[in-house]
Amino acid sequence: MENAPALRGMANVSFWAEDLKAAKEWYTKLLGIEPYFQSPNSENPAYLEYRIGDAQDELGIIDKKYAPPIAQMTGPGGATLYWHVDDVAAMLAKIKALGATEYEPLTRRGVDWFTASVVDPFGNIIGLIHSPHYMEMWNAIHNT
């Protein structure tokens, strides 16, 4: 596709965890769904994958023993991917109640724009955002 954008959209975001069984339990509670894919199997997963959100984006969780050296660092790190939510304050409270720690507090970024982020129990940063732009684009794409 000659005129296609260089980056066409998020296909998968991958997080790392040393204990995949604990990560599966935690993310299943957070998301309210079971992973749709587990490899090599559900009893001994090395990789979990959830489909989440309006576009069924892929969230993969990989055993940290397979991580490249940069992901072996201690403490939170990497890029922060912000997931759109309808109510950042409510989601922040829910995710902290599940054991995540606040990384960035609830912050107003403009009229109807809010962000916050947490570190999950496995050291990954989860960004939360309420973005009017997201909703404008979603509504335009889906003609609602």
Residue that is last in its domain, among 14, 40, 66:
66
Would you say residue 72 lies in a domain? no
Residue 8's SS3 state is coil
The domain that holds 126 is classified in CATH as 3.10.180.10
User: Model-level pTM?
Assistant: 0.81
Domain with 88 in it: 78-144
29-76 per-position pLDDT tens digit: 999 999 999 999 888 899 999 999 888 999 999 998 888 776 566 677
For residue 108, the SS3 value is: strand
Short-list 49, 61, 68, CA closest to 122 = 61
Task: Look up tokens 């496995």; give the residue.
Answer: 122
> Measuring CA to CA, how many Å separate 46 from each of 21, 25, 137?
9, 14, 35
